[in-house]
Amino acid sequence: MLHGLRLCSIAMALAILQSGANRDTHVVTAAANSQSVSSASVFGPTDLATEWAKLPFDSISLERSPCNGNCPAYTVRLYRGTPVPGAAETYEDRFGRAELSVTRLGEVDFAKLLFPPKTGEFKGRVSLWEFARLSALIGESGFLQITQDTCITQDGQTVWVTVNGSGVEKRVRDACGIAPVQVWGIQQAIDAVAARINWTVK
């Protein structure tokens, strides 16, 4: 079982998503069958398969392209957990899959400050706790209504944030660092979650 405090925070994240859904028809579609988390669910036995199913996104990804400077290039993909409904819960049911593909590191001084640490193909796990919080941030930020960046850059880095789920698919491009601040915040949040994952080579 997840710690009661963490489940309470997940419940709060889901509540934010539900309130955001009232302003977002895409999220309404994606979460049409969702139910609120009861107090018994938060503080007592909980079905992790049900908690995962309440989230509106199947995957959340961040992609950073190479540039003519010292920026790293990589793609992070985080996936909804898929416990078997009704089956005995295991520790692994708390996590979804995570994938990391790194094709280029920044220069030494730059890489000391930023994720990722090395090139290659990696796998890891993202917790229900952090996937739910990212989902809440994306839903509440108005990300699904943001229009595409039309900036063209020859030298700078292009960054994509993509979410997919039942009835919702959105990809936002940020080519010149001029996308709305909400997009920047989501980029930073995904990086922060990815930096805490224990990555292993595929």
The residue segments making up the domain with residue 63 are 4-201
Q: pTM higher than 0.85, yes or no? A: no
Tokens of 169: 């698919």
The residue among 59, 12, 21 whose CA lies nearest residue 140 is 21
AA letter at 76:
V
pLDDT by 10s per residue, the chain, length 202: 434 434 444 554 555 444 444 444 333 333 333 333 332 333 334 689 999 999 999 999 999 998 888 888 999 999 999 998 888 889 999 999 999 999 998 765 544 555 787 899 999 999 999 999 999 999 999 999 998 766 776 678 899 999 999 999 999 999 878 888 999 999 999 999 999 999 999 9
AA letter at 83:
P
What pLDDT score does 105 carry? 86
| C-alpha distances in Å from residue 197, one per residue of 19, 52, 126, 166 | 29, 19, 7, 26
What pLDDT score does 168 carry? 92
Q: What contacts 5, CB < 8 A, 6 or more positions away?
A: none
- The rounded distance, in Å, linking the Cα atoms of 35 and 108 is 48
Number of domains in the chain: 1
What pLDDT score does 103 carry? 94
What pLDDT score does 183 carry? 93
